[in-house]
Amino acid sequence: MNSETQQHHLRVEVADWMTAHLSGEFACLQYRGGPGDEEAYPALRKKWERELASGGWTGLGWPKEQGGRAMSVADQVIFHEEYARAGGPGRMGHIGEGLLGPTLIACGTEDQRKRFLPGILKGTQFWCQGYSEPGAGSDLANVRTRAVRDENGNWRVHGQKVWTSLAHDSDWIFVIARTDAESRGNRGLSFLLMLLDQPGIEIRPIKQLNGGAEFNEVFFDGALAAAEDLVGTPGDGWRIAMTLLGFERGMSTLGQQMQFIRELEWVVDAAHEAGVANDPLIRQRIARAWSGLRVMRYNALRMLAGADADEGGGALGREALIYKYYWSNWHRELGQLAMDVLGPDANVIDRADAKRTRLQGVFLFSRADTIYAGTNEIQLNIMAERGLGMPREPRGTQ
């Protein structure tokens, strides 16, 4: 079978599987979940993860010896496109499967891989990311959470994380903590895996402006991280943390674009319904949004092909530098366009009007897109320094 035929078969197989399985009790999950809608059916979406796993649709890019399917980038793209086209729900297992799993494969011990990868693959163990702190966001190296060894050689963690997405729905958290009390900046940090349900950890939800509470503050007061749950060596945490971030721009971005296509369709429908489809400025902005989507798609394919050649090791090319900046600003503009199309109605909340509510949701959540996974200003700094070779800005703490 040539690769085009094989890819066509895969596309049909995924589409058929989604039709057959995103039905019955899972039907209500269609188009639900994901950023801005994480509070939709969390328990059922976890069950859906197990459904995906039993169909063999987790760990697609992971090596076979780690329980994955070692699929090519092209095949993974097909899966994510068909998943999104069918309205597959936002993935509860994304942080484990997309971020921690590949990091443990790259940097973990055999024992860590044995203990953690199966639960991630089977959709029975959920993870969250404990990086940001009140004084360490863009300047992540300023982490103050500290871990000290106890008499048994384990680590006791003290401090606070913030903006921890889905901590309240997770089983485990990976944490960057300072294990060398004398150190500054990105030295002396370690990467720890911690069970969330234990004495010494308190999770407090943060209420968002869209009414939800998808992320949390997480407080550590002497909580335990077992000696064998430190990834790499003490002091090597920055390298591990950066390896993980290299996986953040991964494959699922293509599925995200299918969601963007759908949102643009909602905006076009709303323009017709609001009688502004003939407004020349609105039409131009819609056309610009459409062309932006095409640019995004081809840039993502270029970026992922580069990552494939690098076997996902995190050394993404220049395309990756512009990618996050491009999609997040595109999405924020789409949210603004949606509000302009709705006109004065955009200012009124009416939960009975599902179409209006979903566009308001796009607007509100898209404001966060240019903050998480690197703010606009940080992305521009990175492009200037790494892409264009301009002088590094002064770093106070490194």
Ligand X SMILES: Cc1cc2nc3c(=O)[nH]c(=O)nc-3n(C[C@H](O)[C@H](O)[C@H](O)COP(=O)(O)OP(=O)(O)OC[C@H]3O[C@@H](n4cnc5c(N)ncnc54)[C@H](O)[C@@H]3O)c2cc1C
Per CB under 6 A, residues contacting ligand X are 128-132, 137-138, 163-165, 215, 368, 371-372, 375, 377-378, 381, 393
Q: For residue 36, how many other CB atoms are within 10 A of its CB? A: 22
Active site residue 248: yes
Q: Which is nearer to ligand X, 76 or 145 (CB)?
A: 145
CB of 165 to ligand X, least distance (A): 3
Residue with the shortest CB distance to ligand X: 137
CB of 95 to ligand X, least distance (A): 7
Among candidate residues 248, 273, 311, 393, the one labeled active-site is 248
Q: Which is nearer to ligand X, 112 or 366 (CB)?
A: 366
Q: Which is nearer to ligand X, 52 or 176 (CB)?
A: 176
CB of 139 to ligand X, least distance (A): 6
Q: Which is nearer to ligand X, 329 or 375 (CB)?
A: 375
CB of 385 to ligand X, least distance (A): 11
CB of 133 to ligand X, least distance (A): 8
Beta-bridge mates of residue 2: none
Q: Which is nearer to ligand X, 173 or 282 (CB)?
A: 173
Task: Just list the catalytic residues.
Answer: 248
